[in-house]
Amino acid sequence: FLWSPIPFISTILTFIGHISVCSSNGTIHDFFSSKYISLNQINYGAPYKYINLELKESEMREWDRAIVKADKKYKRKIFSFCGNNSLKYAAFVLGAINYNGKSKHSRCDIRKLGIRKSKFFSNCDVIKTYIGFVLIIVCIILIIILVVLN
């Protein structure tokens, strides 16, 4: 999986982002628009993090079949930020391969996976992910201090 920040939302809620799925040959599958799966193009820009599931060689064909199955299903779905979105698409793929013995995964499972297993591509991506949040907190603290001092 690849994680990209969603403008403004990921600045405030740094654990929320857009997920894309990669096939075993590196092709990126991205559900970001109604009835459309893009290949090798991520809607929200370059990814900052990745999640490596460390599948065995024998599981890779099953993984690729699950992605094809998800592509067919989500090419018929209407995209919704809170409904059918990239997290639900990724959860479907995990369920299709019975990841960790579960046939149904949720968006929360994908978020937990992202928090626990994701790795940043670079230190610069760490800074880009958290700098906006830190600046907002610093501004709030400064405003509070200024109000209290007046």
Model confidence pLDDT, tens digit, residues 62-109 = 999 999 999 999 988 888 878 888 999 999 999 999 888 888 998 889
Whether 7 and 50 have beta carbons less than 8 Å apart is answered as no
Among the listed residues 51, 34, 136, the one whose alpha carbon sits nearest the alpha carbon of residue 91: 51
* pLDDT in the model for residue 144: 95
Question: Cα(65)–Cα(23) distance, rounded to whole angstroms?
Answer: 9
More confident position, 47 or 43: 47
At position 96, the amino acid (one-letter code) is: A
Among the listed residues 58, 54, 88, the one whose alpha carbon sits nearest the alpha carbon of residue 73: 88
Angular region, 94: left φ>0, alpha ψ -120 to 50, beta rest: alpha
Can you give the pTM of this predicted structure? 0.86
